[in-house]
Homo-oligomer: A and B are copies of this chain.
Protein backbone atom coordinates (compact mmCIF):
# COMPACT_ATOMS: atom_id res chain seq x y z
CA UNK A 1 0.00 0.00 0.00
CA UNK A 2 1.37 3.35 -1.08
CA UNK A 3 4.61 1.63 -1.87
CA UNK A 4 6.22 1.78 -5.23
CA UNK A 5 6.11 -1.50 -7.08
CA UNK A 6 9.72 -2.20 -7.98
CA UNK A 7 9.36 -2.52 -11.69
CA UNK A 8 6.50 -0.23 -12.60
CA UNK A 9 7.75 1.47 -15.72
CA UNK A 10 6.08 4.81 -15.05
CA UNK A 11 8.29 7.63 -13.89
CA UNK A 12 5.39 9.23 -12.08
CA UNK A 13 5.49 6.75 -9.19
CA UNK A 14 8.18 8.55 -7.19
CA UNK A 15 6.17 11.67 -7.99
CA UNK A 16 3.05 10.14 -6.48
CA UNK A 17 4.94 9.43 -3.28
CA UNK A 18 6.07 13.05 -3.25
CA UNK A 19 2.50 14.19 -3.82
CA UNK A 20 1.11 11.94 -1.14
CA UNK A 21 3.72 13.15 1.32
CA UNK A 22 3.07 16.73 0.30
CA UNK A 23 -0.66 16.39 0.86
CA UNK A 24 -0.47 14.32 4.00
CA UNK A 25 -1.74 16.54 6.84
CA UNK A 26 -0.88 15.94 10.48
CA UNK A 27 -3.73 14.97 12.75
CA UNK A 28 -3.81 13.47 16.24
CA UNK A 29 -6.21 10.86 14.84
CA UNK A 30 -3.65 9.57 12.31
CA UNK A 31 -1.33 7.12 14.10
CA UNK A 32 0.41 5.97 10.92
CA UNK A 33 -0.14 7.54 7.52
CA UNK A 34 1.49 6.70 4.20
CA UNK A 35 4.57 4.46 4.23
CA UNK A 36 3.79 1.32 6.26
CA UNK A 37 1.92 -1.84 5.28
CA UNK A 38 -1.32 -0.11 6.24
CA UNK A 39 -2.51 3.18 7.72
CA UNK A 40 -3.59 3.27 11.36
CA UNK A 41 -6.14 5.77 12.65
CA UNK A 42 -8.04 6.46 15.87
CA UNK A 43 -11.81 6.25 15.80
CA UNK A 44 -13.58 8.35 18.47
CA UNK A 45 -14.44 5.83 21.22
CA UNK A 46 -17.63 3.93 20.51
CA UNK A 47 -18.22 5.59 17.14
CA UNK A 48 -19.35 3.65 14.12
CA UNK A 49 -17.16 3.74 11.00
CA UNK A 50 -18.80 4.80 7.72
CA UNK A 51 -17.10 3.61 4.50
CA UNK A 52 -17.72 4.51 0.88
CA UNK A 53 -15.72 3.85 -2.27
CA UNK A 54 -15.95 4.97 -5.89
CA UNK A 55 -14.13 3.77 -8.98
CA UNK A 56 -14.00 6.46 -11.67
CA UNK A 57 -13.07 5.68 -15.24
CA UNK A 58 -11.94 8.07 -17.94
CA UNK A 59 -14.52 8.13 -20.71
CA UNK A 60 -17.29 6.87 -18.44
CA UNK A 61 -17.33 9.13 -15.38
CA UNK A 62 -15.22 11.98 -16.68
CA UNK A 63 -13.59 13.21 -19.84
CA UNK A 64 -10.26 14.99 -19.74
CA UNK A 65 -11.31 16.96 -22.86
CA UNK A 66 -14.09 18.80 -21.00
CA UNK A 67 -12.83 18.52 -17.42
CA UNK A 68 -9.45 19.57 -16.10
CA UNK A 69 -7.55 17.00 -13.99
CA UNK A 70 -8.01 19.33 -11.02
CA UNK A 71 -11.77 19.32 -11.50
CA UNK A 72 -11.77 15.51 -11.89
CA UNK A 73 -9.94 15.17 -8.58
CA UNK A 74 -12.15 17.69 -6.84
CA UNK A 75 -15.38 16.07 -8.04
CA UNK A 76 -14.17 12.55 -7.22
CA UNK A 77 -13.47 13.52 -3.62
CA UNK A 78 -16.72 15.48 -3.40
CA UNK A 79 -18.79 12.49 -4.60
CA UNK A 80 -17.42 10.44 -1.70
CA UNK A 81 -17.80 13.30 0.78
CA UNK A 82 -21.42 13.52 -0.34
CA UNK A 83 -22.00 9.80 0.35
CA UNK A 84 -20.70 10.27 3.90
CA UNK A 85 -22.79 13.45 4.26
CA UNK A 86 -25.89 11.47 3.28
CA UNK A 87 -25.23 9.13 6.22
CA UNK A 88 -25.04 12.15 8.54
CA UNK A 89 -21.43 11.25 9.37
CA UNK A 90 -18.19 13.21 9.73
CA UNK A 91 -15.76 12.49 6.84
CA UNK A 92 -12.25 11.86 8.14
CA UNK A 93 -9.76 9.76 6.13
CA UNK A 94 -9.10 9.29 2.41
CA UNK A 95 -7.33 6.56 0.43
CA UNK A 96 -6.56 7.29 -3.24
CA UNK A 97 -5.52 4.71 -5.84
CA UNK A 98 -4.69 5.73 -9.36
CA UNK A 99 -3.93 3.79 -12.55
CA UNK A 100 -1.96 6.04 -14.84
CA UNK A 101 -2.03 5.78 -18.66
CA UNK A 102 1.16 6.56 -20.59
CA UNK A 103 -0.46 9.70 -22.02
CA UNK A 104 -0.93 11.43 -18.67
CA UNK A 105 1.62 14.10 -17.82
CA UNK A 106 3.16 14.61 -14.39
CA UNK A 107 1.59 18.08 -14.25
CA UNK A 108 -1.85 16.49 -14.74
CA UNK A 109 -1.31 14.16 -11.78
CA UNK A 110 -0.20 17.12 -9.66
CA UNK A 111 -3.38 18.95 -10.63
CA UNK A 112 -5.56 15.91 -9.93
CA UNK A 113 -4.17 15.68 -6.39
CA UNK A 114 -4.55 19.42 -5.87
CA UNK A 115 -8.23 19.02 -6.78
CA UNK A 116 -8.67 16.05 -4.47
CA UNK A 117 -7.04 17.82 -1.58
CA UNK A 118 -8.83 21.11 -2.05
CA UNK A 119 -12.11 19.21 -1.57
CA UNK A 120 -10.70 17.31 1.42
CA UNK A 121 -9.11 20.33 3.11
CA UNK A 122 -12.51 22.05 3.23
CA UNK A 123 -13.69 19.24 5.48
CA UNK A 124 -10.41 18.50 7.29
CA UNK A 125 -10.23 15.07 5.69
CA UNK A 126 -6.76 13.48 5.81
CA UNK A 127 -5.05 11.57 2.99
CA UNK A 128 -3.73 8.43 4.71
CA UNK A 129 -2.80 6.08 1.88
CA UNK A 130 -3.36 4.65 -1.55
CA UNK A 131 -1.77 2.72 -4.35
CA UNK A 132 -0.49 3.40 -7.85
CA UNK A 133 -0.42 1.31 -10.98
CA UNK A 134 0.09 1.58 -14.70
CA UNK A 135 -2.87 1.64 -17.06
CA UNK A 136 -2.55 0.74 -20.71
CA UNK A 137 -5.48 2.96 -21.65
CA UNK A 138 -7.37 5.57 -19.67
CA UNK A 139 -7.07 6.96 -16.17
CA UNK A 140 -8.70 5.01 -13.35
CA UNK A 141 -9.24 6.61 -9.98
CA UNK A 142 -10.37 4.65 -6.94
CA UNK A 143 -11.26 6.57 -3.80
CA UNK A 144 -12.21 5.26 -0.39
CA UNK A 145 -13.43 7.58 2.33
CA UNK A 146 -13.85 6.67 5.98
CA UNK A 147 -16.13 8.74 8.19
CA UNK A 148 -17.37 8.34 11.73
CA UNK A 149 -20.68 8.84 13.48
CA UNK A 150 -21.76 8.36 17.10
CA UNK A 151 -22.97 4.81 17.75
CA UNK A 152 -26.56 4.15 16.62
CA UNK A 153 -26.77 7.53 14.87
CA UNK A 154 -26.77 7.30 11.08
CA UNK A 155 -29.17 8.32 8.32
CA UNK A 156 -30.24 5.33 6.23
CA UNK A 157 -32.30 5.17 3.06
CA UNK A 158 -34.87 2.87 4.57
CA UNK A 159 -36.43 5.04 7.30
CA UNK A 160 -39.06 7.00 5.31
CA UNK A 161 -42.64 6.54 6.58
CA UNK A 162 -46.01 7.37 5.00
CA UNK A 163 -46.86 11.01 5.70
CA UNK A 164 -43.25 12.17 6.01
CA UNK A 165 -42.37 15.36 4.16
CA UNK A 166 -39.85 15.01 1.31
CA UNK A 167 -37.12 17.68 1.34
CA UNK A 168 -34.01 18.63 -0.57
CA UNK A 169 -31.12 20.92 0.24
CA UNK A 170 -29.94 23.63 -2.16
CA UNK A 171 -31.09 23.87 -5.78
CA UNK A 172 -31.43 21.15 -8.39
CA UNK A 173 -30.40 20.88 -12.05
CA UNK A 174 -27.49 23.33 -11.91
CA UNK A 175 -24.81 20.71 -12.49
CA UNK A 176 -26.57 19.24 -15.54
CA UNK A 177 -27.09 22.72 -17.01
CA UNK A 178 -23.40 23.45 -16.38
CA UNK A 179 -22.35 20.20 -18.05
CA UNK A 180 -24.52 20.98 -21.09
CA UNK A 181 -22.99 24.44 -21.34
CA UNK A 182 -19.55 22.80 -21.34
CA UNK A 183 -20.32 20.04 -23.84
CA UNK A 184 -22.91 21.52 -26.25
CA UNK A 185 -21.27 24.71 -27.36
CA UNK A 186 -23.52 25.18 -30.38
CA UNK A 187 -26.82 24.77 -28.53
CA UNK A 188 -25.68 26.96 -25.67
CA UNK A 189 -25.29 29.80 -28.12
CA UNK A 190 -28.70 29.31 -29.70
CA UNK A 191 -30.90 32.43 -29.36
CA UNK A 192 -29.85 35.12 -26.93
CA UNK A 193 -26.75 34.18 -24.99
CA UNK A 194 -27.04 33.38 -21.31
CA UNK A 195 -25.64 36.12 -19.11
CA UNK A 196 -22.04 35.45 -18.13
CA UNK A 197 -22.82 35.46 -14.41
CA UNK A 198 -25.46 32.73 -14.85
CA UNK A 199 -23.23 30.72 -17.16
CA UNK A 200 -20.29 30.94 -14.73
CA UNK A 201 -22.53 29.95 -11.81
CA UNK A 202 -23.83 26.82 -13.58
CA UNK A 203 -20.39 25.72 -14.80
CA UNK A 204 -18.99 26.24 -11.32
CA UNK A 205 -21.83 24.21 -9.82
CA UNK A 206 -20.85 21.41 -12.19
CA UNK A 207 -17.12 21.68 -11.61
CA UNK A 208 -17.20 22.42 -7.90
CA UNK A 209 -20.26 20.85 -6.32
CA UNK A 210 -20.52 21.10 -2.54
CA UNK A 211 -21.08 18.02 -0.41
CA UNK A 212 -23.70 18.90 2.21
CA UNK A 213 -21.64 17.67 5.14
CA UNK A 214 -22.83 20.28 7.65
CA UNK A 215 -26.45 19.75 6.66
CA UNK A 216 -26.09 15.97 7.03
CA UNK A 217 -24.59 16.30 10.50
CA UNK A 218 -27.39 18.66 11.52
CA UNK A 219 -30.13 16.34 10.22
CA UNK A 220 -28.55 13.31 11.90
CA UNK A 221 -27.53 14.75 15.25
CA UNK A 222 -30.81 16.65 15.65
CA UNK A 223 -32.77 13.47 14.80
CA UNK A 224 -34.65 15.54 12.25
CA UNK A 225 -34.58 13.23 9.21
CA UNK A 226 -36.15 9.77 9.01
CA UNK A 227 -34.12 8.87 5.91
CA UNK A 228 -31.59 10.43 3.53
CA UNK A 229 -29.74 9.87 0.26
CA UNK A 230 -27.52 12.14 -1.79
CA UNK A 231 -28.58 13.18 -5.27
CA UNK A 232 -25.86 11.77 -7.47
CA UNK A 233 -28.01 10.05 -10.11
CA UNK A 234 -30.74 12.73 -10.32
CA UNK A 235 -33.76 13.41 -8.09
CA UNK A 236 -35.95 11.01 -10.03
CA UNK A 237 -33.51 8.11 -9.73
CA UNK A 238 -32.42 8.75 -6.15
CA UNK A 239 -35.99 9.26 -4.88
CA UNK A 240 -36.71 5.85 -6.42
CA UNK A 241 -33.78 4.31 -4.53
CA UNK A 242 -34.95 5.83 -1.25
CA UNK A 243 -38.57 4.69 -1.77
CA UNK A 244 -37.48 1.17 -2.76
CA UNK A 245 -35.37 0.90 0.40
CA UNK A 246 -38.18 2.28 2.59
CA UNK A 247 -40.97 0.29 0.84
CA UNK A 248 -43.02 3.44 0.23
CA UNK A 249 -44.31 5.63 -2.59
CA UNK A 250 -43.92 9.38 -3.10
CA UNK A 251 -45.82 12.37 -4.43
CA UNK A 252 -43.70 15.27 -5.72
CA UNK A 253 -44.97 18.74 -6.64
CA UNK A 254 -42.94 19.97 -9.58
CA UNK A 255 -43.78 23.60 -8.81
CA UNK A 256 -41.95 23.26 -5.50
CA UNK A 257 -38.62 22.05 -6.91
CA UNK A 258 -35.91 24.54 -5.96
CA UNK A 259 -34.45 25.94 -9.20
CA UNK A 260 -31.73 28.56 -9.14
CA UNK A 261 -32.31 31.78 -11.12
CA UNK A 262 -29.36 30.80 -13.36
CA UNK A 263 -30.81 27.36 -14.09
CA UNK A 264 -34.21 28.91 -14.78
CA UNK A 265 -32.62 31.39 -17.20
CA UNK A 266 -30.74 28.55 -18.92
CA UNK A 267 -33.95 26.52 -19.24
CA UNK A 268 -35.79 29.55 -20.69
CA UNK A 269 -33.08 30.09 -23.31
CA UNK A 270 -33.04 26.40 -24.20
CA UNK A 271 -36.85 26.18 -24.17
CA UNK A 272 -36.76 23.22 -21.79
CA UNK A 273 -38.75 22.67 -18.62
CA UNK A 274 -36.47 23.48 -15.66
CA UNK A 275 -38.17 20.77 -13.59
CA UNK A 276 -36.97 18.22 -16.16
CA UNK A 277 -33.40 19.36 -15.49
CA UNK A 278 -34.03 19.10 -11.76
CA UNK A 279 -35.49 15.59 -12.03
CA UNK A 280 -32.88 14.16 -14.38
CA UNK A 281 -29.80 16.14 -13.39
CA UNK A 282 -27.24 14.13 -11.48
CA UNK A 283 -24.19 15.18 -9.54
CA UNK A 284 -25.89 18.07 -7.80
CA UNK A 285 -24.80 16.33 -4.57
CA UNK A 286 -27.69 17.87 -2.69
CA UNK A 287 -29.32 15.80 0.05
CA UNK A 288 -32.78 14.28 -0.43
CA UNK A 289 -34.33 13.46 2.94
CA UNK A 290 -37.61 12.81 4.70
CA UNK A 291 -38.99 14.38 7.86
CA UNK A 292 -41.84 13.21 10.10
CA UNK A 293 -44.83 15.56 9.76
CA UNK A 294 -44.60 16.60 13.42
CA UNK A 295 -40.96 17.71 12.93
CA UNK A 296 -41.38 19.75 9.76
CA UNK A 297 -41.89 23.10 11.48
CA UNK A 298 -38.93 22.49 13.79
CA UNK A 299 -36.77 21.53 10.80
CA UNK A 300 -37.69 24.65 8.84
CA UNK A 301 -37.15 26.90 11.85
CA UNK A 302 -33.71 25.42 12.55
CA UNK A 303 -32.76 25.60 8.85
CA UNK A 304 -33.57 29.33 8.77
CA UNK A 305 -31.52 29.93 11.92
CA UNK A 306 -28.56 28.07 10.42
CA UNK A 307 -29.03 29.62 6.94
CA UNK A 308 -29.39 26.17 5.35
CA UNK A 309 -31.56 26.18 2.23
CA UNK A 310 -34.06 23.31 2.50
CA UNK A 311 -37.23 22.94 0.45
CA UNK A 312 -40.22 20.67 0.92
CA UNK A 313 -40.97 19.11 -2.46
CA UNK A 314 -43.57 16.45 -1.64
CA UNK A 315 -44.90 13.78 0.67
CA UNK A 316 -44.22 10.09 1.27
CA UNK A 317 -47.22 7.95 0.23
CA UNK A 318 -48.01 4.26 0.60
CA UNK A 319 -46.10 1.92 -1.67
CA UNK A 320 -49.16 1.13 -3.81
CA UNK A 321 -49.37 4.84 -4.71
CA UNK A 322 -46.10 4.47 -6.60
CA UNK A 323 -44.00 7.51 -7.50
CA UNK A 324 -45.97 10.41 -8.95
CA UNK A 325 -45.41 14.06 -9.68
CA UNK A 326 -48.00 16.82 -9.75
CA UNK A 327 -47.32 18.94 -12.80
CA UNK A 328 -48.00 22.66 -13.24
CA UNK A 329 -51.27 21.93 -15.06
CA UNK A 330 -52.60 20.15 -11.96
CA UNK A 331 -52.34 16.71 -13.51
CA UNK A 332 -50.62 13.92 -11.57
CA UNK A 333 -48.39 11.68 -13.71
CA UNK A 334 -46.01 8.83 -12.90
CA UNK A 335 -42.53 10.10 -12.10
CA UNK A 336 -40.43 9.49 -15.22
CA UNK A 337 -37.75 6.81 -14.96
CA UNK A 338 -35.11 9.25 -16.05
CA UNK A 339 -31.81 9.27 -14.42
CA UNK A 340 -28.58 11.04 -14.85
CA UNK A 341 -26.53 9.82 -17.77
CA UNK A 342 -22.85 9.83 -17.00
CA UNK A 343 -20.62 11.16 -19.69
CA UNK A 344 -20.12 8.34 -22.20
How many copies of this protein are present in the complex? 2
Q: Give Cα A226–Cα B269 distance, bound, in whole angstroms.
A: 69
Q: Which A residues contact B (CB, under 8 angstroms)?
A: 1, 3, 5-9, 31-32, 35-43, 45-57, 59-61, 82-84, 86-87, 89, 93, 95, 97-99, 128-138, 140, 142, 144-147, 149, 151, 154, 156-158, 228-230, 233-234, 237, 241, 245, 339-342, 344
Closest-CB distance, A20 to chain B (whole angstroms): 12
Could you say which residues of chain B place their CB within 8 Å of the CB of A156?
Answer: 32, 36
Closest-CB distance, A113 to chain B (whole angstroms): 15
Query: Residue of B at shortest CB range from A38?
Result: B52
In contact, A45 and B46 (Cβ under 8 angstroms): yes
Closest-CB distance, A95 to chain B (whole angstroms): 5
Could you say which residues of chain B place their CB within 8 Å of the CB of A146?
Answer: 49, 51, 146
In contact, A93 and B51 (Cβ under 8 angstroms): yes
Beyond A6-B237, A341-B7, is A144–B31 a contact (Cβ under 8 Å)? no
Q: Give Cα A95–Cα B144 distance, bound, in whole angstroms.
A: 9
In contact, B50 and A6 (Cβ under 8 angstroms): no
In contact, B38 and A144 (Cβ under 8 angstroms): no
Given A49-B49, A140-B142, 17 extra CB contacts under 8 A:
A5-B61, A6-B237, A36-B87, A37-B84, A37-B86, A38-B89, A40-B48, A41-B48, A42-B48, A43-B47, A43-B48, A53-B130, A53-B144, A54-B131, A55-B98, A59-B136, A137-B138
In contact, A133 and B60 (Cβ under 8 angstroms): yes
In contact, A53 and B83 (Cβ under 8 angstroms): no
Beyond A37-B87, A53-B1, is A42–B151 a contact (Cβ under 8 Å)? yes
